[in-house]
Amino acid sequence: MIEAIATQVENRILREDMQTIYQHLSEQEKDKLRDSTILLTGCGGFLGYYFMHFFAQYAEELNIQRIIGLENFLTGTKDWLDNLVASNPEVIKLHEFNVITDSVEDIPGAAEANLVIHMASIASPTFYRIYPIETVDANITGLRRLLDFYADKQLRGFLFFSSSEIYGDPFPEFIPTSEDYRGNVATIGPRACYDEAKRFGETLCYLFSQKHNMPIGIARPFNNYGPGMSIHDKRLPADFAKAVVEGRDLEILSDGTPTRTFCYISDAITGYLKVLLHGQFDVFNIGMDKPELSVRDFAGFFNTQGKAIFNYQGKISFNTSQDKEYLTDNPNRRCPNISKARQLLAYEPQMGVEEGIRRYLEFLFINKEQAL
């Protein structure tokens, strides 16, 4: 079985993406990374894969003092992390850590961290419905413990990963959705554990920024995809990639009409770094604002690129999930207004969706032999 997460840094797609991210950071943003100690929770997941590789690749150039990765491996992957640590054991430190129950003060070097990225949360609906309490606790209890610990520290930036799901299912007049939209969210239901935990997490960040003058940035991601996303992740891009790799039909468990915008991982990480390094409290949508594609159109790109890269012979099919709550509270449309990020962060995503899907599938193809 092929895993989306590769274990070798020399993958061409990964190397090119790291360079792209670096090139799109300003000199002022790079200066904030210089001589830093960076602590990341949930470092073994999809986003952690790119963050960890980026910081590792530019550790020498930016004189990064230490990269501290914390992960409980509930859904994260360890093999590539072990290889990354082995490549630079003096700088990169990995700790098995439960952000809900373990104390960050017990982690060597954590008190010296001046950049903190909190992404320890399950983001796949399939998995957060299996672990709903853990999802709530990671975004509330775990976040609170981190905020308490760093409230009196000299931070350059603290990044909390919220979600576009905090908007729920926006009314049509609020699409594209801007940061001041208050949301149309169900407090009770199969997605509530994630959506409401992220909403309350944002409130905690706001309160700590007010009381302790903490430089907290809140990112609201909109549908990321690309290398680093395991094909077993159970989100839409992963399901389609898995079908291409295994030669199965691209199965859509709806009528294919819900729409989303999709943001390639290098564009997403660039935006998240800009939020982290902004240096003051604020909240930003990070994602692509166009095109807004139907699920069926998105599957069509996987079909086309799958044929070119994997000689894929499958087709798009439609079915109904055996899970009766599969589509409950699932937003019909998801599209961000990113004007604020453009204006304040100089954020400008570049990668077209079809090109991004091609890069994702090429990444999988390059690594297929060692992953089988």
Active site residues per annotation:
194
Three-state DSSP state, 216:
strand
Three-state DSSP state, 270:
helix
Partners of 93 in beta bridges: 68
**Which DSSP letter does residue 6 get?**
-
Contact 71, 43 (CB under 8 A): yes
Token digits for 165?
Answer: 């799901």
Type of residue found at 247: G
CA distance 112 to 120: 20
Contact 120, 42 (CB under 8 A): yes
Residue pointed to by tokens 């072990």: 82
Contact 186, 168 (CB under 8 A): yes
Residue 103 burial (C-beta neighbours within 10 Å; 0-12, 13-18, 19+): exposed
Residue 263 neighbours by CB under 8 Å, 6+ apart:
221, 222, 223, 224, 225, 286, 287, 288, 349, 351
Burial pattern 139-172, b for ≥16 Cβ within 10 A else e, equals bbebbebbbebbeeeebbbbbbbbbbbbbbebee
